[in-house]
């Protein structure tokens, strides 16, 4: 977890087209051993702050590390990249190799530790506290049902990427995340709806060429082929999967299923679960498989999807 800011700064720098090595350096300045470790901030005393502070006479700034902090690292990386672009524009090419790295890193570090870091820390802690309260509070099952149901539509908009930052912050603040298990369950639910379509459209070779790979990739955590290639095409499988995911999310929060980390979603997601959560999470997975499959199969039967597939298969013989 301590190296997360380094990876984030590198990733943001790569995405923004900056110098990746400098992005790594920027990340390292956030977790330097000369700073007070982020995990020691809560227990810091007045004597501790005397040791870990920059004293400028007119102001004193705490020397805090940002281990496992997501938002401060993102803000620092974005600022650094804009600084690098700025200095590249105004610096003669003959001295760019010296001036650009020095000035962009220096000002980036100052901005990160004096302004962006404290703001990002507060934002990250606030977001994780709000989400954790929703997941663990009196109405957590309602939160779980809502999140389980709406996660798939978030994938369509691309907003689902923001949940990774929330997951990492939850892990850093509370030692685990109850959000990631529901994400993996949503993957499974979408895959199960496609599985029902595979059964309904058996014999339709064109449909099978799309359905089978989409189902497999969905069960392994990549939902886009299933969502865009199959479920949204017919609409009702997508809705049935949302219902199944909502049911599974309800149970996941009811049993407080918690993951130690984020990673591959879908069926392998159980490998990230904490030991005490594995058995109840298996039940949640069963719900995410059975409910969307049954609903999609029933609705598909009523709409005659299977008959259409049989007609296509007969025309090919």
Query: Whole-angstrom Cα distance, residue 275 to residue 257?
Result: 10
State the DSSP H helix or E strand holding residue 55, giving kind and residue range, or none if neither: strand 53-55
Question: Where does the pLDDT of residue 43 fall: very low under 50, low under 70, confident under 90, or very high at 90 and above?
Answer: low
- What average pLDDT does range 266-277 have in this prediction? 90
Q: What are phi and psi of 138, to 5 degrees?
A: -65, -30
State the DSSP H helix or E strand holding residue 54, giving kind and residue range, or none if neither: strand 53-55
HSE at residue 300, side-chain half, CA atoms within 13 A, is: 30
Record the tokens describing residue 222, joined without a space.
Answer: 């990549």
What is this structure's pTM? 0.69
Measured at the CA of 103, the angle between CA 98 and CA 104, to 5 degrees, comes to 110
- What average pLDDT does range 247-253 have in this prediction? 93
Cβ contacts of residue 59 below 8 Å, gap of 6+?
Answer: none
Decide if pLDDT at 2 tops 60.
Answer: no
Tens of pLDDT, residue by residue over 132-146, are 777 777 888 998 999
193-230 per-residue burial string, b: 16 or more CB within 10 A, e: under 16: bbbbbbebbeebeebeebbeebbbbbbbbbbebbbebb
Residue 143 near residue 253, CB atoms below 8 Å? yes
Domains in the chain: boundaries: 4-129, 137-316
Per-residue DSSP letters for 136-193?
A: HSTTHHHHHHHHHHHHHHHHHHTGGGHHHHHHHHHHHHHSSBSHHHHHHHHHHHHHHH
Record the tokens describing residue 231, joined without a space.
Answer: 């479920």
- What average pLDDT does range 178-191 have in this prediction? 92
Distances in whole angstroms, Cα of residue 60 to Cα of each of 49, 54, 178 = 10, 6, 38
State residue 39's pLDDT score.
Answer: 66
Query: Whole-angstrom Cα distance, residue 39 to residue 43?
Result: 8
Measured at the CA of 202, the angle between CA 201 and CA 205, to 5 degrees, comes to 90
Decide if pLDDT at 309 tops 70.
Answer: no
Record the tokens describing residue 284, joined without a space.
Answer: 């949640």
State residue 157's pLDDT score.
Answer: 67
Phi-psi region of 224 (alpha: psi -120 to 50; beta: other; left: phi over 0): alpha
**Percentage above 70 pLDDT, the chain:** 91
Query: Whole-angstrom Cα distance, residue 10 to residue 241?
Result: 36
Tens of pLDDT, residue by residue over 74-114, are 899 999 999 999 999 999 989 999 999 999 999 999 998 88
Judged by average pLDDT, the poorest of 150-159, 217-226, 266-275 is 150-159
Distances in whole angstroms, Cα of residue 194 to Cα of each of 55, 185, 238, 276, 289 = 61, 14, 9, 31, 10
């Amino acid at each position: 977890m301590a190296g997360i800011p380094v990876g984030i700064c590198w990733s943001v720098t790569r995405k923004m087209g900056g110098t990746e090595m400098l992005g790594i350096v920027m990340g390292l300045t956030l977790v330097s051993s000369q700073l007070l470790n982020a995990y020691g901030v809560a227990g810091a005393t007045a004597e501790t702050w005397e040791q870990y502070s920059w004293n400028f006479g007119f102001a004193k700034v705490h020397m805090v590390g940002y281990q496992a902090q997501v938002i401060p690292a993102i803000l620092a990386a974005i600022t650094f990249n804009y600084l690098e672009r700025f200095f590249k524009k105004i610096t003669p090419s003959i001295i760019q190799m010296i001036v650009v790295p020095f000035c962009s890193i220096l000002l980036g570090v100052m901005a990160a530790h004096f302004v962006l870091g404290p703001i990002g820390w507060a934002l990250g802690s606030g977001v994780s506290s709000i989400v954790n309260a929703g997941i663990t509070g009196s109405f957590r099952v309602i939160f779980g049902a809502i999140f389980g149901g709406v996660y798939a539509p978030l994938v369509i908009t691309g907003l689902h990427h923001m949940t990774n930052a929330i997951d990492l912050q939850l892990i850093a603040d509370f030692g685990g995340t109850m959000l990631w298990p529901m994400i993996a369950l949503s993957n499974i639910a979408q895959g199960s709806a496609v599985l029902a379509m595979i059964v309904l459209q058996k014999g339709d070779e064109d449909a099978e060429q799309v359905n089978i790979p989409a189902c497999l990739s969905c069960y392994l955590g990549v939902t886009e082929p299933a969502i865009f290639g199959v479920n949204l095409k017919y609409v009702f499988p997508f809705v049935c999967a949302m219902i199944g995911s909502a049911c599974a999310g309800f149970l996941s929060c009811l049993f407080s299923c918690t993951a130690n980390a984020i990673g591959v979603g879908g069926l392998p997601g159980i490998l990230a679960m904490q030991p005490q959560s594995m058995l109840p999470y298996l039940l949640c997975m069963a719900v995410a498989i059975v409910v969307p499959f049954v609903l999609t199969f029933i609705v598909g039967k009523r709409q005659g999807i299977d008959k259409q597939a049989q007609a296509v298969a007969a025309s090919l013989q």
